[in-house]
Amino acid sequence: TLLSWLAFVISLGYGAVMGIIPYYMLYLVGELRELPETLGTIGGAGSYAVEYGTLISAFMLTRAFLARYFGSLSDRVGRRSLIISGSIMYVLLSLGYLLANSLNQLYFIRGLQGVASAMVWPVAEALLMDSTGSERRGRAMAVYMVATNLAFITGPALGVTAYKFGVLYLGIRDVERALKFPFLFLTLFSLLGLPAAFLLREPRVEARDGAPGPREGGGRGELEVDPSVRRSINAIYLMAAANGIAMGFSGPLMSLFVVQYIDADPAALAAITTISGLVGMLAAYPSGRLSDAVGRKAIVIVGGLTSRVMTALIPLARSVRDLTALATARSVAFNSFQPVMRALQADLVPESMRGRVFGTVQAAFNVGAVIGPILGGYLYRFCQGREIRVLGAVLPGISVSFWIGSAIGLAALAVFALFVEERRGK
């Protein structure tokens, strides 16, 4: 579909940049003065965990505050216009990465990109659910997420390929120029998404007075929700916020873990994320289809539990191969329940308030994802250089960050299991 293509091309450009940003940040703060592949590992990378966490949080902060607003606005005025505006903003901001020459400028660009993201992602998911019957929502969301995840997964490899092309074939030896070269791909792929945004169509929904309107009741549908559904939605909001915090204690810091303890070559980080992501992506559609047939809640619980256990085991990795195996198992589990989770929340509420619910879920996650990377960054920096002995094994102190993230995720999963009910909507 057009929505899947739009998600793919924007995410591909975004992913291409994310494979380079950890290195570019280290360059901007003065830690990286040589091409990273010449260094083996970068032992001082952990000293900038807070700065890297803040870089992630800058994006999440603006998205957190605006995702619910734009989701609610789309319930009233329609989805298409917001998606187009956000896509145009993505293109304009992509040029900013080429112009950034300080960490503060990079923070600013990331913050504005969060605004564009808030205009596109929750609204696009709501539009997808509007256009799909309940019996096909799991599969439809799985296809959409496969497109998005494929782009995120292959994006870093594409960015690193561009970096290597610049260094090896164009002979770029200046660190700044070499690290900025892949940013051209963000601009290119953002531009490729614009035609799809303009070609989008959205279903018409009858307003309460009988006249055609963008969304029934101007987005006030929550007045008709019964208490059990309201409890489920509130539990999903809480789970989303907790998952955002948990992500911040492990997800963004994994890049620093690779650079500091595994291999500083950008190709190593790209290989780990690409291989694990591609294998994990294969689980999305089968699990979505299975959830349409047998139910959604059990799949969410099993997938969530497995992914958290794999997160806790990441600090045990001592090589690219070890970390790739753990990351792959985590990716399979994560991709098996994420589209199912979105289909479940769509089943719970009527179409007239899906934009608001999807936007609020995004906002709750993003609030957690603002807090998590900063707290995780402080903890990572505090624990680096220390050692922990567990059952005779000596582990790096930064393991604590991954363990806390895993524990928070498990607590969120318990909330889901206890308070979220499953029902099929229309």
Q: Which of 42-51, 90-99, 223-232, 365-374 has the lowest mean pLDDT?
A: 223-232
The reported pLDDT for the residue numbered 214 is 47
When pLDDT is averaged across residues 214-233 and rounded to a whole number, the result is: 63
Cα–Cα distance, 270 to 146 (Å, whole number): 19
The reported pLDDT for the residue numbered 215 is 46
Question: In which residue are the tokens 């505090």 written?
Answer: 382
Q: What are the structure tokens assigned to 173, written together?
A: 């030896």
When pLDDT is averaged across residues 62-76 and rounded to a whole number, the result is: 81
Q: Is the pLDDT of residue 163 over 70?
A: yes
262-297 tens-digit pLDDT: 998 999 988 998 899 889 888 888 888 888 888 889
CA distances from 89 to 36, 118, 183, 256 (A): 32, 11, 16, 29
Q: CB–CB of 111/59 below 8 Å?
A: yes
Cα–Cα distance, 244 to 200 (Å, whole number): 30
Helix orientation angle between 354-383 and 399-419, rounded to the nearest 10 degrees: 150
Q: Is the pLDDT of residue 184 over 70?
A: yes
Q: What are the structure tokens assigned to 192, written together?
A: 């490729």
End-to-end, the C-alpha distance of the chain in Å comes to 21
| 113 confidence band (pLDDT: 50, 70, 90) | confident
Question: In which residue are the tokens 């608001």 written?
Answer: 356
DSSP labels, 352-412: GGHHHHHHHHHHHHHHHHHHHHHHHHHHHHHHTT-EEEETTEEEETTHHHHHHHHHHHHHH
H or E segment to which residue 213 belongs: strand 212-213
297-329 tens-digit pLDDT: 999 999 999 999 999 999 989 899 999 999 999
Mean pLDDT of the chain: 84
Quote the DSSP letter at residue 234: H
Helices (H), ranges, 218-319: 227-248, 253-257, 266-281, 284-294, 297-313
The reported pLDDT for the residue numbered 211 is 39
Q: What are the structure tokens assigned to 32, written together?
A: 């990286």
Dihedral sign for Cα 121, 26, 257, 367, please: negative
Task: Answer with the residue of higher pLDDT: 392 or 224.
Answer: 392
Q: pTM of this prediction?
A: 0.76
Q: CB–CB of 62/111 below 8 Å?
A: yes
| 50 confidence band (pLDDT: 50, 70, 90) | confident
| 332 confidence band (pLDDT: 50, 70, 90) | very high
| 424 confidence band (pLDDT: 50, 70, 90) | low
In the chain, the domains with their CATH numbers are 2-201+226-419 (1.20.1250.20)
Cα–Cα distance, 333 to 311 (Å, whole number): 11
Quote the DSSP letter at residue 210: S
The reported pLDDT for the residue numbered 313 is 93
| 213 confidence band (pLDDT: 50, 70, 90) | very low
Cα–Cα distance, 32 to 34 (Å, whole number): 6
Which of these, 117, 190, 123, 106, lies nearest to 155 by C-alpha position? Answer: 190
Which of these, 351, 346, 350, 293, lies nearest to 144 by C-alpha position? Answer: 346
The reported pLDDT for the residue numbered 205 is 54
Cα–Cα distance, 233 to 419 (Å, whole number): 9
Which of these, 45, 60, 30, lies nearest to 381 by C-alpha position? Answer: 45
Q: What are the structure tokens assigned to 197, written together?
A: 């945004």
Q: What are the structure tokens assigned to 254, written together?
A: 């994994």
